[in-house]
Amino acid sequence: MHKVYELYKLFYQYLESFPRKDRYVLGQKCENIILEILELLISTTQFFNKNKKIELLEKASIKLNVLRIIARLAKDVKVLDLKRYIILQEKINEIGKMLGGWIKSLK
């Protein structure tokens, strides 16, 4: 959860440099996805049922994959510069590895 929280803070800083038209489309979409992932992870801590935890973690993993693609799109349309994109992708990949490990440990 902490890593997703840090990812949001980082993305929030990047969002200020987005052009106005992209801030409210691509930027808002990424921001919402990060918050949804955070919400799913918080929900996971509330359940003791292993199957429900796995279901929520898999949803978070899918959202993370969507975020990867939207971040790449932001880079490709030059809304996000290469340096920031690389930093963002490193954070996303780290969270993905942690999610994958958590899911694997529950299965």
Q: What is the pLDDT of residues 12-45, one digit of tens each?
A: 999 988 988 888 889 999 999 999 999 999 999 8
| Torsion angles phi and psi, residue 81, rounded to 5 | -75, 165
Interacting residues of 5 by C-beta distance below 8 A, sequence separation 6+: 38
Q: Computed from CA positions of residues 33, 5, 16, 73, in that sequence, does the dihedral angle turn out positive or negative?
A: negative
Residue 47 pLDDT greater than 80, yes or no = no
Which pLDDT belongs to residue 23? 85
**Cα–Cα nearest to 66, from 45, 44, 40:** 40
pTM value > 0.85: yes
Compute CA distances 102 → 9, 12, 57, 73, 90, whole Å.
23, 26, 8, 28, 18
User: Where do the domains of the chain lie, and which CATH numbers do they carry?
Assistant: 2-106 (1.20.1440.60)
Q: For tokens 């990424």, name the residue.
A: 30
pLDDT digit string, tens, across residues 49-91: 888 999 999 999 999 999 999 999 999 999 999 999 999 999 9
